[in-house]
């Protein structure tokens, strides 16, 4: 299970970087184009945050952090939810 979670943690990191770079690209275009693409920017920010939260959960699991038990995190469910939410990154 740890090997799979390690791969998912790395994938979550990759997805976080992807969306953060996308936001950075919009910012580099200037205020007018940023505002024209505001919905895309907000979606990318949200997706980067979501992927990053999964990355933290996977890292906690790999480190045997007490947060897994304290927060009652079901890592198998988190892994399945992550794969479902970001299915396009697994093709």
pTM: 0.89
The pLDDT tens digits of the residues spanning 48-91 come to 999 999 999 999 999 999 999 999 999 999 999 999 999 999 98
Query: Do residues 89 and 11 make contact, with C-beta atoms less than 8 angstroms apart?
Result: yes
Place of tokens 């479902």: 84
Place of tokens 């927060």: 71
Q: Token digits for 42?
A: 């907000």
Q: How large is the angle between the packed helices 75-85 and 2-28, nearest 10 degrees? A: 40
The pLDDT tens digits of the residues spanning 10-56 come to 999 999 999 999 998 888 878 787 778 788 889 999 999 999 999 99
């Amino acid at each position: 299970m740890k090997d799979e979670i390690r791969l998912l943690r790395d994938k979550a990191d990759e997805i976080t970087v992807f969306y953060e770079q996308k936001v950075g690209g919009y910012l580099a275009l200037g205020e007018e184009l940023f505002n024209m693409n505001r919905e895309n920017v907000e979606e990318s920010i949200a997706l980067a945050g979501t992927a990053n939260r999964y990355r933290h959960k996977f890292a906690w699991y790999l480190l045997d952090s007490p947060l897994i038990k304290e927060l009652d995190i079901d890592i198998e469910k988190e892994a399945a939810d992550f794969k479902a939410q970001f299915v396009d990154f697994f093709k």
